[in-house]
Chain A
Amino acid sequence: MSGVRVLVGTRKGAFVLSSDGARQQWEVSGPHFAGWEIYHVKGSPADPDRLYASQSSGWSGQVIQRSDDGGATWSAVGNQFAYQGTPGTHQWYDGTPHPWEFERVWHLEPSLHDPDVVYAGVEDAGLFRSDDGGQSWQELPALRGHKSGPSWQPGAGGMCLHTILLDPIQRGRMFAAISAAGAFRSDDAGQTWRPINQGLQSEGIPDPDAEVGHCVHRLAMHPSRPEVLFMQKHWDVMRSDNGGESWREVSGNLPSDFGFPIDVHAHEPDTIYVVPITSDAEHFPPDGRLRVYRSRTGGDDWEPLTAGLPQQHCYVNVLRDAMAVDALDSCGVYFGTTGGQVYASADAGDSWAPIVRDLPAVLSVEVQTLP
């Protein structure tokens, strides 16, 4: 019988939540790497037993873990992330030049085709690739080396490359997003990059429609239609119908268009999900009511999903990498909160129930759909 494996990264370890296709009864495994921050755990689309995890701590820095048996056992692999060449500088918070310094891996994106190939998005913003299952890492320097790089500034959480999308149809096309530089596209497997931020408006930067400088929080696409992209920006939910060449706002009737995650239904390319957050200062849901919003029209028209979610006194946040969908016939949707809850819906968001309630703050949620 088919099932799902939910991979949860938290402030103090990783957890693996497993269920059969009904998604009602859950087995909880963890904490793995107890005490360490786990920014992201993700499985290979080419081999569901191959998992990668980004493990870090303030004491000991970055470790990358790899599992070849679906998370039952793990081995530390390579953790040397050296920027290529002379790293140069980006702008610091005070506007002064600041040397590029590796801090941590925010996001791991395994290749769609080869389980030994995996990309890493890091802070300070850079993109790395491993061709040997994580043993060694090489930077794809053209992104950080873009002519706008010296002007990039960190967001409040650091200057992180947090989103990597691999186009499943146009091989070699990939997207990356950086807080607070914006979205970028490569059509040649990362050899060259260009900003794709036309149409974004950010009131918090001196030139609201600048080529770069936008605090993009997350990008999402449906694999059947990769030219259509969705974006949760610092403020504004955006959509592009041409691979990022231009964007239009689709915030519509959302109670707040501030938020972090955005994701797409596994079988309905125009059904998308966001979690509105009150504001940049108030990182909790409006009115203390935890509501996922769903649009079945690719944006503009949104409906709140509340069944099973707390509708009073709820002041958690949902971080950018902490929402995912499974690919079962009735699409499952999952998200984790800074309060340590992981919620699941087995009916595309119509109803929700917590899988676990009291984990450490959740940093990331990914889902594997198992045969």
Chain B
Amino acid sequence: MRCTEAQTLIESYVDGELDLVRNLDIERHLGDCPSCTSMHKDALELRSRIREDVPYYRASPDLLRRVRAVTRGAQPETKRSWVPVWAPAWTPAWVGSGAVAALVLLAVITVGFMRRASDSSREQMIAQEIVSDHVRSLMANHLTDVTSTDQHTVKPWFHGKLDFAPPVDDFAPEGFPLIGGRLDYLDGRPVAALVYQRRQHPINLFVWEDQGKYPEKPARQTLQGYNIFFWARSGMTYCAISDLAADEMQTFTDLLQK
């Protein structure tokens, strides 16, 4: 792991949000790197200062009394109100109550209705995460882990890092050269990110094992100004994202269908 990558991950590391592999990588890097170690120490110090010096305001006995009283007046409504349907998928302790229950609840999530309802479905969360991954890859020179226009270099690079082999093609003759590849994370699991370029616009093509949720024909959506295409084929799910115009993205995804 290089300093540029380590520095982008230090806060997440301190927050305990890194997966095991990156945890080990960053610990190894910190063992060797005084400047990143100093940054790590600063982050730890800030955290403990915040916890010591920032007041935590507790409810007064009067507030407790008032809140207890709310259950005396109204009745809980059996119809939905605007409060969110809570998703046990986000509280792991609950999942053990059975796969069927979890499936029913996932169905409830996809129906359901936080005020910003579009965030609730799993596909929407993945699309949001794709945007974040794409944006993050454009920062701090972290577009590629392996930089090569040769698909015979990029494809084998993933061996041992993923338990599937993403298909890698180069489309330089068609104006979409391969730039390289990188390991990225989506929905808690490692995925391949293949990086292409069209003029000055990077395109991230995420590839992971098929979850059976996406159509064969690429479906387009826009999110935060990016064009995103999802599709699934031959056991793999694909997602292409870029700030390119929709028609050029369509050309790119058409190339991938062959």
Tell me if chain B binds chain A.
no
